[in-house]
Structure 1
Amino acid sequence: MDLLIKETAKLLKESDFTIAFTGAGISVESGVPPFRGEHGLWNKYNPEVLDLGYYLENAEECWVYIREIFYDFFADAKPNPAHLVLAKMEEAGLLQAVVTQNIDNLHYEAGNKEVYEFHGNSKKLKCLKCGSVYDVNEVDLESLPPLCKKDSEILKPDFIFFGEGIPHEAYSNSFAAAERAKVCLIIGSTGEVTPASYVPRTAKQSGATIIEINPEESMFTSQITDIHLKGKASEILTKLASELF
């Protein structure tokens, strides 16, 4: 492992354009549960509450569960060492962009500035009628459902529901970065969710070296990964940081 860490650090130092592609695994250590898998949220909750069609007809009912999942259950999650290392890498010029499947805002809170949120952000609420966007801290979630201050329409969390498309800017920025990448770090993603999982594949097709940080093998491992650093995100990235800084 130590040799792989040193080899990875060398590749990162030599790369002039590196991206990190992050999934649920990087935030699990911050107390944010994944949606899928053995301890996933969909084992406890019905995914229908995040289906756009169902939501539009049953917004008041859905908001009871949305508040519990996203604003009671892990609202106090903080960036962990893995997030902080990525922020330090960007500050040092060793990381040019983070493409994340996560909606928890932790990359921004850690200090990263160039973050493409493929699935949106749970810390923002949006009015589907007038387009107004609110920070969740501006909105009273004690009284459900939350309403737009301009037109009294029900606000929706500004992340992607089932049946919604990927935000255009995040999509185009993510794939443009993937095409430029010399190194792509995959951190905590199983590779099961499309079209997000096409981002590292695009990087690979464009000639990037793929470095995967995951405790177990993923759908990427045998297909596109060049170096698999097996372990938790914070553990591996802390080791990498000791070689980089």
Structure 2
Amino acid sequence: MDKVNQLVDWLRQSTKTVVLTGAGMSTESGVPDFRSKSGWWRNIDPSTVANIQALEHDYDLFHAFYCARFEALKGCEPHEGHRILADWEKRGIIVHVATQNVDGFHKAAGNTKVDELHGSIHAVRCHKCGHEASAQAFFEQETCTVCEGKLRPGIVLFGELLPEDAWNSALHTIKTADLVIVIGTSLQVYPVNQLPSMTRGKLVYINREVHGFERDFDLLFEGSAKETLQQIDAALKG
């Protein structure tokens, strides 16, 4: 039996399948992987900009970086792989998506049960008091209307804790899953990289580079997230 048909069998047998996605899911929509080693913005290592230190002490640089990230999302939209996962949720094939991505594409595609483990770039708020604000207010470098604090996107900066509700939800669903499909993440970022090992179910890995993960997963697909999901979906419908 080939790998696609093996996974189709597992999907049909599973009563609780969970998907975990990372940057490789979004790059196929044209979103830059801002954690790439080369750095895609002014040749600066993003980890030196996307942190509390920059937010509090070099806000102009922090603001410029996140304005560039907003700009990079313009014209990008969910691809067919996102829409397949949304359709699988509607059909009861998967029950949940946990994602490291902050672009909101899973929800935009139609998934309703999504844990955004690194937050959402669209959820602008005050860093000091947490009051919600508009993206436009952030672009124009306005301050909070409640406490005059600095505005920021609602994403997890380097060194910050993950959103507790999203983390606990993802942890519970993965722990109790029959099948976990990990898509488009190098599993380098802690603590999300610990989640696959938390399940007692079968583990599947879809990524452009799978070398080194052979012992960690029951099934591996090396290649495009979108194209692999299209192949699996076609076999499911066949």
Q: Which runs of 5+ in 2 are unaligned?
A: none
Tell me the distance in 2 between the aligned counterparts of 1:40 and 1:238: 30
Instruction: Give 2:221's match in structure 1, choosing from 229, 232, 244.
Output: 229
- 1:211 counterpart = 2:204: yes
Tell me the distance in 2 between the aligned counterparts of 1:195 and 1:12: 26
Residue 46 (structure 1) shift: 3.3
Number of residue pairs the alignment of both structures matches: 236
Q: Describe the SS at the equivalent of 2:44.
A: coil
Q: What is residue 54 of structure 1 aligned with on the other side? A: 54
Given that residues 33 and 40 in structure 1 are in contact (C-alpha distance below 8 angstroms), is that contact kept between their aligned partners in structure 2?
A: no
Instruction: State TM-score, norm by structure 1.
Output: 0.90
Tell me the distance in 1 between the aligned counterparts of 2:147 and 2:79: 39
Q: Describe the SS at the equivalent of 1:191.
A: coil
Residue 59 (structure 1) shift: 1.6
Q: Which runs of 5+ in 1 are unaligned?
A: none
Instruction: State TM-score, norm by structure 2.
Output: 0.92
Tell me the distance in 2 between the aligned counterparts of 1:60 and 1:163: 20
- 1:170 counterpart = 2:166: yes
Q: What is residue 4 of structure 1 aligned with on the other side? A: 3
For each residue in 1:70-127, what CA deviation from the matched residue of structure 2 results, as whole angstroms up to 9, or x when unmatched? 1112233100111111100111111111110111111011111111111111011111
Residue 215 (structure 1) shift: 1.9
Tell me the distance in 2 between the aligned counterparts of 1:135 and 1:238: 36
In the superposition, relative to structure 1, how do residues 184 and 44 fare at CA in structure 2: closer, same or farther (>3 Å)? Answer: same
- 1:157 counterpart = 2:150: no
Q: Which amino acid aligns with 2:203?
A: I
Q: Which amino acid aligns with 1:66?
A: Y
Tell me the distance in 1 between the aligned counterparts of 2:25 and 2:220: 15
Given that residues 214 and 229 in structure 1 are in contact (C-alpha distance below 8 angstroms), is that contact kept between their aligned partners in structure 2?
A: yes
Given that residues 53 and 163 in structure 1 are in contact (C-alpha distance below 8 angstroms), is that contact kept between their aligned partners in structure 2?
A: no
In the superposition, relative to structure 1, how do residues 38 and 165 fare at CA in structure 2: closer, same or farther (>3 Å)? Answer: closer
In the superposition, relative to structure 1, how do residues 135 and 238 fare at CA in structure 2: closer, same or farther (>3 Å)? Answer: farther
In the superposition, relative to structure 1, how do residues 45 and 16 fare at CA in structure 2: closer, same or farther (>3 Å)? Answer: same
What is the aligned-residue RMSD (CA, Å)? Answer: 1.9
Residue 200 (structure 1) shift: 0.9
In the superposition, relative to structure 1, how do residues 113 and 100 fare at CA in structure 2: closer, same or farther (>3 Å)? Answer: same
